[in-house]
Structure 1
């Protein structure tokens, strides 16, 4: 718009960069330098970001003079999120994911992949396994993305597969499980991904599927975020990621189910079956048509 003279910003006194660490990546840096060149010399620039990598610090040195810094990092910590990793081969990931779905008490989950192609392929696999699943990534048009996000937020689907497009500035409080199907290479990406499940005081669990090639990234992220990612145990305590009220409701519902089955003299269902999760949340868990 600036190049076509369709907008004039020479009198714009304030420039705000939200998610500055992303906006100041190499993809956008040249464009931002051009925009700042059109602003008045006495402009005010404000940067907001969960992390401040070297690209942000370099921008601050170049364009800001004696800036004020406010650190609210304590509000974006990993508190409330229990983190685990599972070492797997690439070909074992889908099987491992299926096992997690059958074992965890999922209210809603977000599964992250590192590419748009893998997002669609994984969403298809999950649907073939019999689970409801939406997907969202950057190559979808905005209207389509908005619809998928709205429907997921309304609880119309239990699982969402997405790229890092979905990590920025969006909070869904019903999400209590985040799975890194593909492990990220950078700590800021990891923080944005799994921090979602523990915000607003809600508990959450993060499961990271780690291949041999990911082992160095795992160690680096632990060091940079001063956190511990533990080996996944055979059983994950539901109290770590399921609210007390949900645990009570689930137990009560299960007891009521078995009582009815005994009255009808019907063989109870298997605890490991997919029907167990479907019965607990029938409105969330019905198989959806792929978006």
Structure 2
């Protein structure tokens, strides 16, 4: 029983990381109608920046503060220089442009840090395990769950209780009308893109002490993020949260029940949801 409880908590932790990755992807698509295939590459940058800051300073908390902001700034620069020129183009061009960006980031990562994966130490304050009776669970993984939940709640407040959130939600419904009402729509696009990508960078930092960092993780993460978005529904905050938790729990539990099929069952869950609801659990047609 303790083993399954352990795996369930692992699944929740993974699910919250997947949520942080996919919620940015779904927000960007919901408002900008832009398909970002470079999303996993920004996660990759976040994880390597975490490794670098920890290697130089030994301070994980500094990495947790710096890396997501640095990734968001890089995303803002990329959006201003290149991506905003493609918003009006068909999705085929979005895919080609962002795939190119992802490949450039991956090759630069290999050139700077090498092709061999790196490990990031768990911060000293979170080393060891949390004990409750006969059940033991790593403190860092528990921190990831709680911290991600706080970020998810803060993001919900931002999107549901602020003027910025109202503009994002209105823009996802009718961008032209929001623009005619006086909103600087391109500025809104840029901030939304940077926010979504910054969350992917944050996920890269949180996952680094658990899974390490390597230059090919971006492709893997991108695939999982799209599975989460398909399950939850494109453009839905709630869908990203529920989809992330479903994928995390399926992956974690299947690692115990059927290790060889853990990755396969993620796509099985996606196929099952598509059969029941083609637009995702919380998506709209």
Is TM (by shorter chain) over 0.5? no
Q: Which has the higher helix share?
A: 2
Question: TM-score when scaled to structure 2?
Answer: 0.26
Question: TM-score when scaled to structure 1?
Answer: 0.25
* Higher-RCO chain (CA-CA 8 Å, sequence separation at least 6): 2
